[in-house]
């Protein structure tokens, strides 16, 4: 019971007044009168009523005391508090487990500080008889405990200790799932809308709503970050652009750029340095932008921060700073892919035409970022072949073989083989050719019902032929791509032992080389048979990386013990940890191919002093406030009743 006006208890002074009234009230004394018979009878009757009269007087006094007491209570305005104190003490504690929580000061990370504070708060709440819920906002929000009471205190403490196991902090390298954590908090709020939600984080929020944001950062923390490294081709040379920033304080840092496997020149005149596959190490004293992204350029332009750098090829770039800042993971960055993988092409023909040669040159330029295409053309004379003095094409050592008109004795087995208008069947072929068929006019090709990667962007109606050679039979591994009046004229096969594309017509009896479809078709063939292993050398954390392979098997090694082997393609892996990943495959050429890509943390996690506009807030259902029980009315009823009783007793006294 509580009191709105405790001064109302001064009404108890009325008891003192009542006591004084009884003290000063005249006492009636018994007087003896000469006896008569009537008087004796009256006295006798009066003596019989004395016990009831005394009881009535006692009750009357009690009623008067209670009346004064009721008045005093009414003046003090008593009520009973309707609030459940344990419900108000319940807390939902959310731990931010984003990459910025790895920010470290004096050997302790923000994440460790947050867990320690959550443990202290949880212990306090449970010791007070209430319950606590702990949520970890990592890559996906998860419950550590839900509405745990004092009986589970040891279990909760042990679970929190597991989060900060030395060398194995349960903190993610990406963004925290704060939204998911708030959804989990809503489950608790539905049961107890008075539960308090507390977020332990280093991020500031302008609008945090009803959520209590507990800042675990320290004002002395700062971070120098390398956010991105790019290689941009400028006049046949690479310019390297490094995006950097410093967060928390302005700081001048020494930025290092190591170009491994570099080919080119650094410097001018006598001080120039030539590198042929070695490592070029550059240093730059940089005053990084405060709390915002800035770019430092290493190139040949006079406006670059470091100029006189002419690099036309490299294996990889390693960029880093050596600073004792709060977050170490973003102090370095790897960039791979500076030297496209070699792709050797042999074009052998008795009638080399500019259309195929031109298409190959166009493909070399189109795929320059992925492949360093080397083209060898071998022109053979038909008369010399008839005399047995023809040139023999190479049957090994190339990635792509193109044979036009005259065929080799045996098909190569270590690369893609494209056969155009074959005159004979080399050893190793698994198709049968028939007679030449000709037309007085042109016949359009068609690809009705064909769904194949090679046919992407191809309009078969644009292609015509006037003569072709019938394909009588072919292995079941071949897929027909183009037809003439129901006869397949282009077929393709792609398995682990044989990669063949057959054109059963000559470019001289078709318009295909004059149409936009021809370079697209050749490009599609390369993409299909010799796909890029992955799309980009730099990948964002948690992105899905699609892997293609030119071999039956491909292996991937990466951070956090990743070691997987794939045999079905395209395969996918999740980039779940920052760092570099190594992809190894052995094509049918037998020469292992090793490629790497680098996974980076989100840029915003490097900003350890960032401020967000608003915080994702849980939904609070409408709450009917627990009404306080007002006792004034009941005391008033009691007062009226007591006054009625007191009146009735008085009336009986006079009767």
Per-residue pLDDT of 243-271, as tens digits, reads 999 999 888 899 999 999 999 999 877 77
Q: What local confidence, expressed as pLDDT, does residue 406 receive? A: 87
Q: What local confidence, expressed as pLDDT, does residue 603 receive? A: 93
Q: Are the C-beta atoms of residues 597 and 581 closer than 8 Å to each other?
A: yes
Q: Is there a single domain that holds both residue 276 and residue 403?
A: no
Mean pLDDT of 97-121: 95
For the beta carbon of residue 396, count every other beta carbon within 10 angstroms: 11
Task: In whole angstroms, give the CA distance from residue 551 to residue 244.
Answer: 39
Please check the confidence at residue 54 and state whether its pLDDT lies above 80.
no
pLDDT tens digits for 537-574?
999 999 999 999 888 899 999 998 899 999 998 899 99
Residue 437 in domain: yes
Residue 548 in domain: yes
- 336, 359, 381 - which closes a domain: 336
Please check the confidence at residue 115 and state whether its pLDDT lies above 80.
yes
Which string of b and e fits 307-328 if b means at least 16 CB within 10 Å? bbbbbebbbbbbbebebebbbe
Cβ-based neighbours of 184, under 8 Å, separated by 6 or more = 135, 141, 143
Range of the domain at 69: 2-26+34-82+633-654
Cβ-based neighbours of 299, under 8 Å, separated by 6 or more = 232, 234, 237, 238, 239, 240, 306, 307, 309
Percent of the chain with pLDDT over 90: 55
Q: What local confidence, expressed as pLDDT, does residue 234 receive? A: 84
β-strand pairing of 196-201 with 168-169 = unpaired
Residue 605 in domain: no
Task: In whole angstroms, give the CA distance from residue 119 to residue 144.
Answer: 12
Q: Which of 148, 140, 145 is nearest to 159 (CA)?
A: 145
Percent of the chain with pLDDT over 70: 89
Q: Is there a single domain that holds both residue 426 and residue 409?
A: yes
Task: In whole angstroms, give the CA distance from residue 391 to residue 376.
Answer: 13
pLDDT tens digits for 428-469?
899 999 999 988 888 999 988 888 999 999 999 999 999 999
**CATH code of 104's domain:** 3.40.50.410
β-strand pairing of 611-614 with 104-105 = unpaired
Least confident of 36-50, 394-408, 539-553: 36-50
E strand intervals along 218-269: 223-234, 237-247, 252-266
Least confident of 9-23, 26-40, 132-146, 227-241: 26-40
Task: In whole angstroms, give the CA distance from residue 548 to residue 570.
Answer: 5
Residue 623 in domain: no
Task: In whole angstroms, give the CA distance from residue 338 to residue 273.
Answer: 20
Q: What local confidence, expressed as pLDDT, does residue 289 receive? A: 87
Q: Is there a single domain that holds both residue 359 and residue 461?
A: yes
Length of the chain: 655
pTM (2 d.p.): 0.75
Count of domains observed in the chain: 5
Please check the confidence at residue 35 and state whether its pLDDT lies above 70.
no
How far are the Cα atoms of 4, 68, 96, 628 from residue 8, in angstroms, in the given order? 9, 12, 52, 19
Please check the confidence at residue 48 and state whether its pLDDT lies above 60.
no
pLDDT tens digits for 131-153?
999 999 999 999 999 999 999 99
Task: In whole angstroms, give the CA distance from residue 59 to residue 509.
Answer: 131
Q: Which of 347, 343, 500 is nearest to 416 (CA)?
A: 500
Q: Is there a single domain that holds both residue 352 and residue 467?
A: yes
How far are the Cα atoms of 5, 99, 206, 214, 237 from residue 217, in angstroms, in the given order? 46, 13, 16, 9, 44
Please check the confidence at residue 45 and state whether its pLDDT lies above 80.
no
Q: Is there a single domain that holds both residue 447 and residue 496?
A: yes
Q: Is there a single domain that holds both residue 482 and residue 550?
A: no
How far are the Cα atoms of 72, 393, 552 from residue 587, in angstroms, in the given order? 99, 21, 8
Q: What local confidence, expressed as pLDDT, does residue 75 receive? A: 77
Residue 461 in domain: yes
**CATH code of 254's domain:** 2.60.40
Q: What local confidence, expressed as pLDDT, does residue 569 receive? A: 87
Q: What is the dihedral of CA 637, 640, 644, 645, to 10 degrees?
A: 60
Task: In whole angstroms, give the CA distance from residue 94 to residue 399.
Answer: 56
Bigger pLDDT: 524 vs 632: 524
What residues does 563 pair with on adjacent strands?
Answer: 557
Mean pLDDT of 629-647: 76
- 155, 189, 219 - which closes a domain: 219
Cβ-based neighbours of 337, under 8 Å, separated by 6 or more = 231, 316, 369, 537
Counting Cα atoms < 13 Å in the Cβ hemisphere of 332 gives 11
Q: What local confidence, expressed as pLDDT, does residue 572 receive? A: 94
Counting Cα atoms < 13 Å in the Cβ hemisphere of 8 gives 17
Q: Are the C-beta atoms of residues 58 and 164 closer than 8 Å to each other?
A: no
- 191, 219, 247 - which closes a domain: 219
Residue 620 in domain: no
Residue 369 in domain: yes
- Computed on alpha carbons and rounded to an integer, the radius of gyration of the chain in Å comes to 46
Q: Which of 561, 218, 165, 173 is nearest to 330 (CA)?
A: 173
Q: What local confidence, expressed as pLDDT, does residue 556 receive? A: 96
For CA atoms 451, 453, 457, 461, give the dihedral sign.
Answer: negative
**CATH code of 440's domain:** 3.40.50.880
Please check the confidence at residue 51 and state whether its pLDDT lies above 80.
no
Mean pLDDT of 283-288: 90
What residues does 416 pair with on adjacent strands?
Answer: 400
Mean pLDDT of 481-510: 92
Helix, strand, or coil (residue 70): helix
Mean pLDDT of 613-639: 72
Q: Are the C-beta atoms of residues 132 and 91 closer than 8 Å to each other?
A: yes
Q: What local confidence, expressed as pLDDT, does residue 263 receive? A: 92
List the structure tokens of 508. Answer: 């001289």
Q: Is there a single domain that holds both residue 241 and residue 258?
A: yes
Q: Is there a single domain that holds both residue 408 and residue 504?
A: yes
β-strand pairing of 499-503 with 416-420 = parallel
Mean pLDDT of 590-598: 90
How far are the Cα atoms of 42, 53, 293 from residue 652, in angstroms, in the given order? 18, 9, 97
Q: Is there a single domain that holds both residue 120 and residue 154?
A: yes
Task: In whole angstroms, give the CA distance from residue 509 to residue 468.
Answer: 8
Q: Is there a single domain that holds both residue 38 and residue 182?
A: no
What's the whole-number average pLDDT of the chain? 86
Mean pLDDT of 348-360: 85
Mean pLDDT of 187-215: 91
Least confident of 17-31, 315-329, 386-400, 637-651: 17-31
Q: Are the C-beta atoms of residues 176 and 98 closer than 8 Å to each other?
A: yes
Q: Is there a single domain that holds both residue 66 and residue 10?
A: yes
Task: In whole angstroms, give the CA distance from residue 634 to residue 399.
Answer: 99
Residue 396 in domain: yes
Q: Are the C-beta atoms of residues 450 and 458 closer than 8 Å to each other?
A: no
List the structure tokens of 222. Answer: 């700062």
Q: Is there a single domain that holds both residue 61 and residue 134?
A: no
Residue 73 binned pLDDT confidence (cut-offs 50, 70, 90): confident
């Amino acid at each position: 019971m509580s009191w709105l006006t405790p001064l109302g208890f001064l009404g108890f002074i009325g008891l003192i007044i009542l006591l004084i009234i009884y003290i000063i009230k005249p006492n009636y004394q018994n007087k003896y009168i000469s006896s008569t018979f009537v008087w004796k009878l009256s006295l006798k009757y009066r003596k019989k009523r004395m016990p009831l009269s005394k009881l009535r007087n006692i009750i009357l006094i009690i009623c008067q005391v209670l009346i004064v007491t009721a008045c005093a209570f009414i003046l003090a305005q008593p009520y009973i508090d309707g609030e459940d104190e344990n419900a108000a003490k319940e807390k939902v504690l959310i731990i931010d487990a984003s990459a910025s929580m790895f920010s470290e000061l004096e050997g302790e990370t923000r994440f460790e500080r947050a867990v320690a504070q959550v443990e202290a708060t949880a212990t306090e709440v449970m010791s007070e008889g209430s319950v606590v819920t702990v949520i970890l906002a990592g890559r996906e929000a998860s419950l550590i405990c839900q509405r745990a009471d004092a009986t589970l205190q040891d279990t909760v403490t042990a679970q929190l200790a597991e989060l900060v196991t030395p060398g194995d902090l349960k903190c993610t390298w990406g963004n925290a799932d704060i939204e998911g954590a708030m959804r989990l908090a809503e489950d608790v709020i539905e049961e107890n809308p008075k539960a308090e939600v507390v977020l332990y984080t280093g991020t500031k929020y302008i609008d945090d709503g009803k959520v209590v944001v507990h800042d675990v950062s320290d004002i002395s923390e700062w971070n120098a970050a390398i956010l991105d490294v790019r290689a941009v081709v400028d006049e046949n040379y690479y310019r390297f652009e490094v995006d950097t920033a410093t967060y928390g304080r302005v700081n001048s840092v020494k930025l290092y750029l190591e170009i491994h496997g570099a080919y080119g020149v650094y410097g001018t005149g006598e001080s120039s340095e030539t590198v042929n596959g070695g490592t070029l190490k550059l240093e730059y004293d940089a005053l990084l932008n405060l709390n915002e992204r800035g770019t430092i350029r290493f190139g040949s332009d006079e406006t670059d921060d470091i100029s006189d750098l002419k690099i036309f090829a490299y294996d990889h770039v390693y960029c880093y700073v050596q600073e004792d800042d709060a977050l170490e993971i973003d102090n370095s960055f790897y960039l791979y892919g500076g030297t496209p993988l070699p792709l050797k092409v042999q074009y052998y023909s008795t009638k080399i035409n500019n259309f195929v040669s031109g298409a190959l040159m166009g493909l070399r330029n189109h795929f320059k970022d992925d492949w360093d295409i080397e083209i060898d053309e071998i022109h053979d004379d038909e008369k010399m072949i008839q005399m047995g003095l023809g040139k023999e094409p190479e049957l090994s050592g190339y990635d792509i073989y193109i044979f036009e008109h005259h065929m080799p004795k045996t098909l190569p087995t270590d690369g893609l083989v494209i056969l155009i208008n074959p005159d004979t069947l080399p050893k190793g072929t698994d198709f049968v050719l028939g007679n030449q068929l000709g037309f007085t006019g042109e016949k359009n090709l068609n690809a009705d019902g064909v769904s194949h990667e090679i046919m992407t962007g191809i309009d078969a109606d644009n292609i015509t032929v006037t003569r072709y050679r019938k394909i009588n039979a072919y292995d079941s591994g071949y897929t027909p791509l183009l037809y003439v009046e129901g006869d397949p004229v282009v077929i393709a096969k792609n398995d682990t032992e044989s990669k063949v594309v057959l054109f059963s017509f000559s470019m001289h009896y078709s318009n295909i080389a004059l149409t936009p479809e021809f370079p697209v078709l050749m490009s599609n063939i390369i993409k299909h048979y010799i796909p890029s292993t992955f799309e980009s050398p730099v990948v964002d954390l948690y992105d899905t990386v699609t892997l293609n392979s030119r071999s039956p098997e491909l292996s991937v090694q990466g951070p956090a013990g990743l070691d997987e082997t794939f045999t079905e393609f395209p395969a996918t892996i999740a980039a779940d940890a920052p760092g570099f990943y190594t992809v190894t495959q052995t094509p049918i050429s037998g020469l292992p191919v090793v490629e790497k890509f680098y996974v980076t943390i989100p840029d915003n996690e490097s900003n350890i002093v960032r401020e967000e506009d608003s915080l994702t807030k849980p939904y609070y259902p409408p709450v009917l406030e627990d009404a306080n029980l007002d006792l004034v009315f009941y005391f008033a009823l009691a007062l009226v009743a007591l006054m009625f009783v007191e009146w009735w007793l008085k009336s009986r006294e006079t009767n």
